[in-house]
Amino acid sequence: MIEINIAKDFAETPGARLYSDGPKSGQEFFDVMLKGKFSEALEGKTKLKIILDGTDGFPSSFLNEAFRRLAETFGQDIAWNNLFLISNEVPKYIQKIKEAIYETQK
């Protein structure tokens, strides 16, 4: 399994939605980490494990931007079915990610 620990590998304090909103945005996370690691997991026929614990929290726009882009790039079901999300500290983040992935179906 491929793994991203957001707090250790990207930022302890994730930013907002876009590059223009400041550093460590959801857009930046998708561009520099999520897209490549997800592709690597798919190629290896495994899931991408994402550890959400250990950060100072997530702006909803960060999660929405990163995972909406993932769904737009790879397809909603492929995105959702190939993630293994860990969020023991704030379990609702998993639901927020699912909502972001399936947002365009509303």
pLDDT of residue 104: 62
Q: If you ran DSSP here, which 8-state letter would residue 13 be given?
A: S
pLDDT of residue 106: 47
Domain count, the chain: 1
User: Which residue range(s) make up the domain with 80?
Assistant: 2-105
- Whether the CA torsion 13, 16, 20, 24 is positive or negative: it is positive
pLDDT at 105: 54
pLDDT of residue 103: 86
pLDDT, residue 11, reads 98
pLDDT in tens, the chain (106 residues): 999 999 999 999 999 999 999 999 999 999 999 999 999 999 999 999 999 999 999 998 999 999 999 999 999 999 999 999 999 999 999 999 999 999 865 4
